[in-house]
Amino acid sequence: MPIATPEVYADMIDRAQAENFAYPAINVTSSQTLNAAIKGFADAGSDGIIQVSTGGAEYFSGQAVKDMVTGSLAFSAFAHEVAKKYDVNIALHTDHCPQDKLDGFVRPLLQASIERVKQGGLPYFQSHMWDGSATPLEENLQIAQELLEQCSQARIILEVEIGVVGGEEDGVANEINDKLYTTPDDAIATIKALGPREEGRYLTALTFGNVHGVYKPGNVKLRPEILQAAQAAAAKELGLEEGALPFDLVFHGGSGSSAQEISDAVDYGVVKMNVDTDTQYAFTRPVAGFMLRNYEGVLKVDGEVGNKKMYDPRAWGKEAEANMTARVVEACENLRSAGTSK
């Protein structure tokens, strides 16, 4: 199928909310990891989201270029061509963008999509993330209001982060402390600033102990009930019935989470869960194994010529892609999206 249109993406999110599942959002940095991710969604029978971070976009552009916008547009163009060959819907997203990178990443991409839409075309991306977690809440929401208006012009969904995710990703680092927990008052402030989803579509990353990086199960202290409290506070503010889920929630920093924590988060309205660390390892681990098993083939040892079939990047690349694909399928199963594609 072609890359999801704005209408298809909105329907994907609505179905996830209504049918109580979430989509894995897989970070990619290359055509190989992008191909592995799309195949994983197809194998699982799940629509899905593929995304690039600021660092991933820069890497995509090539080491001689190192430009986030160039890399993002190249990623989008490649994905648009490849996705046509699969029977699931794929949405494209840009991940964490802090304030100091807005002018070099999200704003130019938004403007490019606005111009494209004015000419009758579709946006380059289906959603963009504004990461205001390091910005005071009032300023965070002011910037979100500005970006939400531009996203509406571009037919793009905005993702906002209310609260702080601990750990480190692409140079954005935060301490692990009480700031990792969004309060009901934060949720109410968000609703007051951005309104209900009917007035301008946005995704909300609330924090409930999330930490970026690699942690053993039990080391990250997640409190999914915080999501329930935030939904309840927002629903009351909007005059909605008890049990309503006014936020379309995003789960960041979930490595090491238990199956129960993930399930609870989905029950409380999570429709998108970022998956990066696990798929990075899934891609790289087979490469390490291949090199160790085929040491004398991939290296020209003691004056020998090696084995071209072994050091051909396609040889080890196939194993890496297959393993990452399997991990994407697993993510779909854990988040209940497997088998939900129309």
State yes or no: is 95 an active-site residue: yes
How many other C-beta atoms lie within 10 A of the C-beta of residue 40? 29
The single residue of 95, 170, 248, 264 carrying the catalytic annotation is 95
Phi and psi based region of residue 42 (left: phi greater than 0; alpha: psi -120 to 50; beta: remaining) = alpha
DSSP 240: P
Q: Are 235 and 244 in contact (CB under 8 A)?
A: yes
Q: Are 256 and 215 in contact (CB under 8 A)?
A: yes
Taking Cα atoms as reference points, which of 156, 126, 161, 163 lies closest to residue 143? 161
Taking Cα atoms as reference points, which of 7, 8, 90 lies closest to residue 44? 90
For 219, the token pair is 């080391």
Q: What is the distance, to the nearest Å, from the Cα of residue 178 to the centroid of all Cα atoms in its chain?
A: 24
Taking Cα atoms as reference points, which of 220, 336, 194, 200 lies closest to residue 270? 336
Structure-token match 């940095």, residue found: 29
| Residues acting as catalytic residues | 95
